[in-house]
């Protein structure tokens, strides 16, 4: 009698949970706010959804200060890791851009990479760049924006 051997289709893939009801609409409205109010509007979404990486990535995009953006991305990165672990991610496997739920987290990792470059932290920038390619071998996506 022979045993069946399972063939894996590669590393497991993880998808972050969907945003809380109403969060995506609130963030879209905040990002669309007039420039003078945008940062404050996005910060209100972060206050309402502090565990949502998309909100942190959007907040990072509201500032021209590279250190401030780096800090926002660092928080979003860690909140994303927490959510991934809750979703079953064990530190390896794909977290692909093609799943919209993953995009805020991936934006935060990329923002961390850019921020590390801007402050001369080359090792961190390289680590983030490698991590992005491990999470999604097709990185960077053409629609990163």
pLDDT digit of tens for each residue in the chain (145 aa)?
A: 445 455 556 788 999 999 999 999 999 999 999 999 999 999 999 999 999 999 999 999 999 999 999 999 999 999 999 999 998 888 889 999 999 999 999 999 999 999 999 999 999 999 999 999 999 999 998 888 6
27, 53, 55 from 47: Cα distances, Å:
11, 12, 9
Alpha-carbon span 82 to 143, nearest angstrom: 26
Q: What is the CA radius of gyration of the chain?
A: 17
pLDDT at 2: 46
Two structure tokens written together for 13: 């893939």
Q: Which residue shows structure tokens 């860690």? A: 78
pLDDT at 11: 80
């Amino acid at each position: 009698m022979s045993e069946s051997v399972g063939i894996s289709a590669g590393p497991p893939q993880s998808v972050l949970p969907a945003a809380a009801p109403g969060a995506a609409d609130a963030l879209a409205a905040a990002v669309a706010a007039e420039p003078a109010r945008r940062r404050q509007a996005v910060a209100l979404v972060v206050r309402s959804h502090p565990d949502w990486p998309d909100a942190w990535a959007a907040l990072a995009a509201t500032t021209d200060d590279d250190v401030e953006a780096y800090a926002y991305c660092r928080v979003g990165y860690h909140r994303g890791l927490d959510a991934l672990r809750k979703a079953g991610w064990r530190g390896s496997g794909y977290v692909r851009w093609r799943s919209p739920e993953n995009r805020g987290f991936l934006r935060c990792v990329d923002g961390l990479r850019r921020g590390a470059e801007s402050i001369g932290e080359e090792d961190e920038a390289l680590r983030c760049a490698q991590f992005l390619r491990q999470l999604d071998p097709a990185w960077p996506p053409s629609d990163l924006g």
